[in-house]
Chains A and B, each alone.
Chain A
Amino acid sequence: MKVQMQDQQANPRPDLIEKVTGAAVFASDVSVPGMLHGRILRSPLPHARIRSIDTSAALAMPGVVAVLTGADLANINSHWGLYLIDRPVIAIDKVRYVGDPVAAVAAVDEHTAEEALDAIMVDYESLPYVTDAEEALKPDAPLVHEDMQTQNDYYFRGGTKIREGTNAFQDYRYDYGDVDAAFESAAHIFEDRFTFPGIFHYAMEPHVAVADFRGDELEIWSGGQTPTAIQKVCADLFEMPLSRIRVHSPYVGGGFGGKASVKIDPLVAALSWKAQRPVRVCQSINESMLTARRLGAVVYLKTAVDAEGKFTAKSVRVVMNGGAYADTGPAVAIKSAIRAIGPYHFPNLRLEAVAAYTNTVPGAAFRSIGGPQGVWATESQMDIIADKLGMDPVEFRLANMVDKGQTIKADLRPLDVDLKHSLREAVAALDAQPDKDASRRGVAVGATDPGIMPIGGAVVRLKADGSVLIMANTVEIGQGNRGVLRQIVAKVLNMSLEHIHVGRPDTEFAPYDWGTGASRSTVISGLAVKQACEDILAQVQKVASQEIGGEPSDYEFRDGIVAGPQESVKLRELLRRFHGVDSGEFIGIGRITKHTRDGDFAKAPLFWETVGGACEIDVDTDTGEIQVLRVASAVDAGYVINRSAAEGQDEGATVQGIGHSLFEEYVYEDGQLTNGTMFDYRVPKISDAATTALSVLIESKDGPGPFGSRGMGEGAILPVAPSIANALFRMHGVRIRDLPLTPERVWRAIRDAKQEQGDTDASAESSSSEVNYVTSAI
């Protein structure tokens, strides 16, 4: 019998057919024998001391196997974290936000577990709370964490600078040149305050994990993006060897950073440890809204410009709402300040980023960490300045933008792409549309330094029959990385895709990889796979020269045939001559470290992830509703391995950006999240997506990844909000500095501007010298 292979030669992605036929096994589909179902009791209060928890009634219910509370953590390391060891596996002495896990029940089924939650009695003593970051930094603000214990070099390189006795868990400062002197001598100074709210990742699959604690070993099937970090945190909590913790990564139904680093896995592992049974916890989407969100930000910009319209200094101050636990917030805060610089040259530069604990959902990484927050501010202000100087927004950007090879921030790798070209390409893409309308247009650019740790590896096994198994720990979260790895193997080993299989990520077999995020998989895992293939080729050539004769370099490997000047043999025949039986395999290993590419990987960032963006909008001035008509992003991806997947990344980023531009925000009132359901929290629908979305992929072939590729997929989210706001300004002369651009906000701004216009017109009759700034044309 011949087994029909599912993979189509034409389609490199093995996941697509599985997903559309329902055959794909996602983390939420995993079931293991003897598995219990867990549900989590969450705090209804924003900040409270736990006086007592009575679980006896829950435990007495038929089908309830175990209840985990803070009292159970006495015998393990109770807290974990990435910069600060601030998060208990489950609440111990107090709760810090509405949604904080207080108790977890493991029962024979989900309904029984859910019912048992109602039977758990928790006695709380309410504490003063704070939900706003700037309020949280005031001297008399309630402390979310009384003590802060930091650690360095744990997840990202370095540590965080806390302010003891306050809610500030990050206090980053950077100073270059003499900013104060530059401000004193500036021809123009622009000062603006922008806000960006907390945003839900809304992966379609909520957070899910199955954990099976068996004596001295722990096995987890996780919906997380970072299996090795989950492994590390669990090893530290339970004081177990890394080698006894196995993390599987089935298909994950979207991540966007909300499943990066570590989220619910330690809690599920602890529940399994308590129950002594495998336990599955699959959250509802509402619970996932209470698990992680993008950090909200207030961004203050002060920018100095000389008489010729050139920048002389910039100061950025970011205040981030980090929520109840720091997670990777310290990194997000720094990145936000850096990403607020923009791709411009400032001879004098000051950055400040403060991240504050608040009694809200913990902040977390989200597609271009800190990027949309910083870029929203800076690219909005770029148009404010251009307007004031009477310059065209595109020309003003081009005049101040650094060239490829020039420095944005002194301690970072110089810009490695021609971003001026990207901006022109984005504008050209809209100009090429038959229904283009430049009077409705806004532009914006973004330049970000991905926080990529150059740690990764891959094993590629060339089997005797010429088929290939790839073992890598990059997680398929919908971005198509398994397909990309296959295409890399096909290209390097000169073989067709049908013979190439990618194993499921599994820490027991696949080499260590730092994690799936920051646009790193194609570059890091891809390059490791490419190296492993090159390792294999060298071995094949060596064995061929030994068994057939001649020099290794005489041989090439193509379509499963080892071809040399004297003889061409099938791989199986080569192995027969080598081993005596036609079995065995070639094992190729790829390793990524700071030494990769002659030490170039030691420099940060590994590459710049950049974008030029432009959009055209329609505004219903009666309702204030904005419709994005056409949008274009231009990204230098270096080399495009899978075009439809790459375009899908940028189109998805654009639609996600439309969400935070127009609708999305966490709304808090009295310490409660008031829109914590998908009825009240609006994500973009297909009718909200631009009717024309253009993804321009530029291939300069000089990125650090395989074949000159660079990472992509996060850039296109950056320009969406500021380009929409800039288009709104161009059309109606109103400048909105707060996201989202809800219909009400837009309607109110246009109405107020009309009223002001009316007032100005009236006063202009008596004083004709008055300049009407609000409606001046750009």
Chain B
Amino acid sequence: MLPAPFELHRPKTIDDAFALMAEHRDEATFYAGGTEMLVAMKARVVAYPHVIDIKGLDELRDVTREADGRIRIGGLSTHHELATNPTILEHLPAYAEMSNQVANIRVRVAGTVAGNLCFAEPHADVPTLLCALGAELVLRSPRGERVVSAGDFIVGEFTTIREDDELLTAIRVPSTRGGTTAAYRNFGHLERPAVGVAVRKEDTGSGIVWHIWVGAVCGHPVRLESVENAVRGMQGEQALETLKRHIDAATQELEIYDSIHGSADYKRHLVGVLASRAMEACQK
């Protein structure tokens, strides 16, 4: 199918982009890689008479290290750029690995990290890992800037807390260099993941803290807090055995339904499999 007719705008600055959005409001959308938005427009699930192409806003593309050691990822960075970026490879190797496996190469060279987050397709990889990594998202609008945690950003299928006129300009992620490790494991037999689990093992100096998030299987990434608490302070086989003992009870609490990606009980089982594998990967 073909999208409904629209006018394409190509602002050169963020302020120009905001001005266009202010002018067209409900009739406009921001668009970057197009790997989600254009598909939806072609399927005529959504229609916007005005499409604001923000690919020209180069200031949203850089990957830098901030003074506090965090990695700042420009929202327009593509999956492929992040998979091959030296800073990401050094400081967030798990993120680079995940980025390198998003969809297929045609999606990876076009799709952006901010687009992935803002579209909030539940069967996605990026949000789950960013949640486990403790990422913060920087949202900017004409009213100013606000920072939200990745775990608070997506609230349901295709739904985020972003206002329509806000741009997700950057993602700030604590480096996993040093004692911290992270891993993401997903599985599915269709194009998109049926289940994804991200695990971060954080050495706080005063003990091991695990961050365990499940994605794709629910409307938004979900933190497995009970499992995190059960394995707090543990490492090695002890952590793994404890995770396996607690994961089933935790997955029972998740809102998982039968779908084309699999039956609910199978997907719950996969959460346990992938959580174990991700934890093992963190300990290698």
Contacts and interface: CB of A to CB of B under 8 A. Distances in A.
Interface of A: 110-111, 114-115, 284, 286, 622-623, 625, 662-663, 667, 674-675, 677-682, 685, 742-744, 747-748
B67 interface: no
A131 to B, nearest CB: 16
Contacts of B5: 111, 115
A682 B190 contact: yes
B260 A662 contact: no
A675 B189 contact: no
Interface stretch (B8-16, B56-64, B90-98, B261-269): B261-269
Nearest to B265: A748
A474 to B, nearest CB: 33
A623 B193 CA distance: 13
Given A663-B189, A743-B187, A680 B260 contact: yes
Nearest to A624: B266
Contact of B2 (A111, A623, A674, A675): A111
Interface of B: 1-2, 4-5, 39, 43, 104, 187, 189-192, 260, 262-263, 266, 269-270, 273
B270 A623 contact: yes
B1 A623 contact: no
A48 B191 CA distance: 33
A284 B189 CA distance: 23
Given A679-B192, A680-B260, A685-B104, A625 B2 contact: no
Contacts of A744: 189, 262-263, 266
Given A675-B260, A680-B260, A744-B266, A115 B4 contact: yes
B2 A622 contact: no
A772 B1 CA distance: 55
Given A110-B2, A286-B1, A662-B189, A674 B273 contact: no
Contact of A742 (B39, B43, B189, B269): B189
A246 B248 CA distance: 66
A667 B1 contact: no
Given A115-B4, A623-B273, A682 B262 contact: no
Contacts, number: 47
19 contacts: A115-B5, A284-B1, A286-B1, A623-B187, A623-B273, A667-B260, A675-B260, A677-B43, A678-B191, A679-B190, A679-B191, A679-B192, A680-B191, A682-B189, A685-B104, A742-B189, A743-B262, A744-B262, A744-B263
Contacts of B262: 743-744
A286 B39 CA distance: 12
Q: Pick the 8 closest A-B CB pairs, nearest first.
A: A114-B2, A622-B273, A744-B266, A679-B191, A682-B190, A744-B262, A743-B189, A623-B187
Contacts of B269: 747
Query: DSSP majority for the B interface?
Result: loop
A66 B191 CA distance: 38
A286 B187 CA distance: 25
A326 B241 CA distance: 57
Contacts of B190: 663, 675, 679-682
Contacts of A679: 39, 190-192
Contacts of B187: 623, 625, 743
Contacts of B43: 677
Contacts of A674: 260
Nearest to B103: A679
Contacts of B104: 685
Given A111-B5, A748-B266, 7 more contacts: A110-B2, A111-B2, A114-B1, A623-B273, A663-B190, A679-B39, A685-B104
A741 to B, nearest CB: 10
Given A115-B5, A284-B1, A682 B273 contact: no
Contact of A682 (B4, B191, B266, B270): B191
Nearest to A623: B187
B241 to A, nearest CB: 16
A675 B266 CA distance: 19
A399 B190 CA distance: 41
Contacts of A623: 187, 270, 273
A677 B42 CA distance: 12
Contacts of A110: 2
Contacts of A114: 1-2
Contacts of B189: 625, 662-663, 682, 742-744
B231 to A, nearest CB: 20
B158 to A, nearest CB: 14
A284 to B, nearest CB: 6
Nearest to B2: A114
Contacts of B260: 667, 674-675, 680
A679 B39 CA distance: 10
Nearest to B277: A622
B103 to A, nearest CB: 10
A663 B39 CA distance: 23
Contacts of B4: 115
Residue with the greatest number of chain A CB neighbours at <10 A, chosen from B2, B104, B189, B270: B189
A674 B258 CA distance: 13
A677 B191 CA distance: 10
Nearest to B1: A284
Residue with the greatest number of chain B CB neighbours at <10 A, chosen from A622, A625, A663, A742: A622
Nearest to A117: B1
